[in-house]
Chain A
Amino acid sequence: ETGVTQSPTHLIKTRGQQVTLRCSSQSGHNTVSWYQQALGQGPQFIFQYYREEENGRGNFPPRFSGLQFPNYSSELNVNALELDDSALYLCASSRYRDSFEAFFGQGTRLTVV
């Protein structure tokens, strides 16, 4: 059983640019959630996808968007990057939408300059 993998591990972007982060969920997991972890903070829920549809969203603007594919891999897209978007972005997969336990990837460190 493979774990949750994210790519790339590090990324530097310029303010105003767009970025796409990728996640490969754990085998058999149909739910993926994305979190933003700013320095010194806990992870904050961005949104969740279940069977390719958005299933809940945290307090993030529409320039944060996502996709989930039939093979349960997923993407997080951020448009019009701002300096405050600099953070660790974590992907977490769950076996079911109602599963309490989530399995996290190692994260993508995004730096916006």
Chain B
Amino acid sequence: DQQVKQNSPSLSVQEGRISILNCDYTNSMFDYFLWYKKYPAEGPTFLISISSIKDKNEDGRFTVFLNKSAKHLSLHIVPSQPGDSAVYFCAATLTGTASKLTFGTGTRLQVTL
């Protein structure tokens, strides 16, 4: 039972354009969501997060949007840079079990010149 889904395995975007990565979840109990970025041969690194009491969180070029009614979140990267090329994982958790993360399958982002 895949509780967190990333339906696009890959995405290619031109440098300078917007990258939009999507994530859906099925467990309505999840109340905190995170995005992690993973380069080859490295562990995932935390990128940005959002609590279910918010619908938007912004950090520099990265913005995460949460639509609770649709059980959907998205990560926007503007402008995209070649160094953003990586695998992006969406993760969800519940307050009280905070560091036990449920991950999606990942989206590989390729930013081209």
Proximity string of chain B (36-58) to chain A, C-beta cutoff 8 Å, 1 when within and 0 when not: 10000111111001000000000
Q: Which B residues have a C-beta under 8 Å from some C-beta of A?
A: 4, 6, 32, 34, 36, 41-46, 49, 89, 91, 93, 95-106
Return 11 A-B CB contacts under 8 Å, by A number.
A41-B106, A42-B104, A43-B101, A45-B102, A56-B100, A92-B43, A94-B98, A97-B98, A98-B95, A98-B96, A103-B46
- Among the stretches A13-21, A60-68, A71-79, A104-112, the one at the interface with B is A104-112
The reply to whether B98 and A100 form a contact with Cβ atoms under 8 Å apart is yes
Which residues from chain A contact B99 at a C-beta distance below 8 Å?
31, 33, 48, 92, 94, 97-100, 102
Closest to B42 in A: A106
Which residues from chain B contact A98 at a C-beta distance below 8 Å?
95-96, 98-99
With A43-B89, A45-B101 as contacts: A104 and B45 at CB distance below 8 Å: yes
Which residues from chain A contact B91 at a C-beta distance below 8 Å?
42
Tell me the count of chain A residues lying within 8 A, CB to CB, of chain B: 27
- Shortest distance in angstroms between A87's beta carbon and chain B's nearest beta carbon? 13
Closest to A48 in B: B100
- Which one, B6, B44, B98, B105, contacts A99 given CB within 8 A? B98
- Which one, A42, A103, A107, contacts B106 given CB within 8 A? A42
The reply to whether A44 and B98 form a contact with Cβ atoms under 8 Å apart is no
Which residues from chain B contact A44 at a C-beta distance below 8 Å?
103
The reply to whether B100 and A90 form a contact with Cβ atoms under 8 Å apart is no
Closest to B103 in A: A42
Q: Could you say which of B43, B104, B106 has the most chain A C-beta atoms within 10 Å of its C-beta? A: B43
Give Cα A43–Cα B99 distance, bound, in whole angstroms.
13
- Given A43-B101, A98-B95, 14 more A-B residue pairs with CB atoms under 8 Å apart are A4-B43, A43-B44, A43-B89, A44-B103, A45-B100, A48-B99, A58-B100, A92-B101, A94-B99, A100-B34, A101-B34, A104-B43, A106-B41, A107-B43
The reply to whether B89 and A101 form a contact with Cβ atoms under 8 Å apart is no
